[in-house]
């Protein structure tokens, strides 16, 4: 009886959390271009490693930004690429009108990894505001203009933008996109509540003075990932309620989903490996709550199969969890124009538990492979 009550309480807490996130998501004001506001100068920093297949497309997107060319610069920082990335950038540099700079970390002894690349870019940046994206992303022409609108309207220290997985060509990739949409939605909702948990470095902008005001990445240099969320938490701690979410469909940055299961697992283990290093309690509680609710739902199912607990109790737990899930997805998926993924929610419920369990345990070990490198989080 006590175990049943505990299971129901955890699932209920999860459900309440999701409902609160749904309400918070709906309260985030949308941002549109067209309003007459001052033009900020942005330094767009792109850390790259082995992005020869994508970097020219991204630079082309930046070339087509509907934002004054005199009001932004682009700094590509190469982290010891082993493919044709350097040549691709140098060729683009020769024929573009972009204010494009190129830094090679090979010229910075002892500096490597994404955080080192971002820091090198910030040191070279002329702008008061830093805008970050990744070398394998695609941008809408309104991206910078929308960042500027929100920057001028809210006077934040950091702006977290939406990211979507696209294009998706099979069931595996669609499931990734479904889960990822929920992560972005929850991250946006917690930002709106003033208790930020998650963001994504593929669409992130912040005041350069704020970066230095919190000593940049100092204190988490030993964690290979987390250039985005560690910084978000530090800025939130020093500048409360100065972190905002850019809710605009044309601000969505698109990046390709993993094409192989091994690539997907290594990526998620990389994400999971940083959670234990967070100083903020909110992200840790959220991670435990999500994992716990999913695990206990499966536990109630197996207890019902074994005739230890009744099927109605499993049905109750399923309803308490699935209802809020559907509620959040009903608001988040239309924003990302992914309504067609709604039918995959039941399947995601089935595969989510073994996936979460494996990545959580592997994340505690902190060992994974990413972009041709073996990483271990101490």
Is 143 in a helix, a strand, or coil? helix
pLDDT of 281: 78
- Residue-averaged pLDDT of the chain: 91
Contact 118, 75 (CB under 8 A): no
- How many angstroms separate the CA atoms of 117 and 204, rounded? 15
Is 48 in a helix, a strand, or coil? strand
pLDDT of 366: 63
Contact 18, 106 (CB under 8 A): no
pLDDT of 275: 67
- How many angstroms separate the CA atoms of 202 and 219, rounded? 22
Q: What angle do CA 170, 136, 204 make, to 5 degrees?
A: 110
pLDDT of 267: 82
Residues in the chain: 378
Q: Mind listing the pLDDT tens digit for each residue in 23-62?
A: 999 999 999 988 889 999 999 999 999 999 999 999 999 9
Structural domain boundaries in the chain:
2-24+281-369, 29-256
pLDDT of 218: 86
Q: Which stretches does DSSP call E strand in 199-247? A: 204-207, 243-245
Q: Which stretches does DSSP call E strand in 199-317? A: 204-207, 243-245, 253-255
Report mean pLDDT in 10-residue bins for the chain, 378 residues. 90 96 98 89 97 96 97 95 93 95 80 82 97 97 98 97 96 97 97 94 97 89 73 94 97 96 85 70 85 92 93 95 96 97 93 84 65 59
Q: Mind listing the pLDDT tens digit for each residue in 132-161?
A: 999 999 999 999 999 999 999 999 999 999
- Can you name the CATH fold of 29-256? Spore Coat Polysaccharide Biosynthesis Protein SpsA; Chain A (3.90.550)
pLDDT of 111: 57
């Amino acid at each position: 009886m006590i175990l049943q009550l505990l299971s129901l309480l955890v699932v209920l807490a999860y459900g309440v959390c999701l409902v609160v996130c749904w309400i918070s998501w709906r309260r985030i004001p949308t941002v549109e271009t067209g309003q007459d506001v001052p033009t900020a100068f942005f330094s767009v920093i792109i850390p790259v490693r082995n992005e020869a297949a994508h970097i020219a497309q991204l630079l082309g997107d930046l070339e087509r930004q509907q934002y004054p060319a005199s009001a932004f610069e682009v700094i590509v920082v190469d982290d010891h690429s082993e493919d044709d990335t350097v040549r691709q950038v140098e060729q683009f540099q020769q024929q573009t009108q972009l204010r494009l700079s190129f830094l090679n970390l090979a010229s910075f002894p002892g500096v490597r990894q994404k955080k080192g690349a971002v820091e090198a870019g910030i040191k070279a940046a002329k702008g008061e505001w830093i805008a970050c994206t990744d070398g394998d992303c695609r941008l809408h022409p309104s991206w910078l203009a929308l960042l500027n609108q929100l920057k001028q309207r809210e006077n934040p220290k950091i702006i977290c933008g939406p990211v979507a997985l696209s294009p998706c060509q099979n069931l595996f990739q669609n499931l990734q996109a479904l889960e990822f949409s929920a992560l972005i939605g929850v991250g946006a909702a917690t930002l709106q509540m003033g208790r930020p948990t998650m963001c994504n470095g593929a669409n992130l902008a912040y005041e350069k003075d704020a970066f230095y005001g919190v000593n940049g990445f100092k204190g988490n240099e030993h964690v290979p990932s987390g250039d985005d969320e560690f910084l978000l938490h530090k800025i939130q701690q020093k500048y409360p309620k100065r972190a905002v979410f850019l809710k605009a469909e044309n601000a969505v940055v698109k990046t390709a989903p993993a094409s192989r299961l091994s690539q997907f697992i290594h990526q998620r283990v990389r994400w999971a490996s940083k959670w234990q290093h967070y100083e903020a309690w909110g992200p840790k509680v959220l991670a435990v709550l999500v994992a716990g609710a999913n695990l206990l739902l499966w536990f109630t199912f197996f207890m019902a199969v074994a005739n230890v607990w009744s099927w109605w109790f499993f049905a109750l737990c399923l309803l308490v969890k699935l209802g809020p899930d559907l509620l959040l997805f009903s608001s988040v998926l239309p924003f990302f124009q992914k309504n067609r993924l709604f039918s995959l929610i039941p399947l995601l419920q089935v595969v989510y538990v073994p996936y979460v369990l494996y990545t959580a345990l592997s994340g505690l070990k902190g060992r994974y492979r990413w972009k041709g490198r073996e990483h271990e989080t101490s």
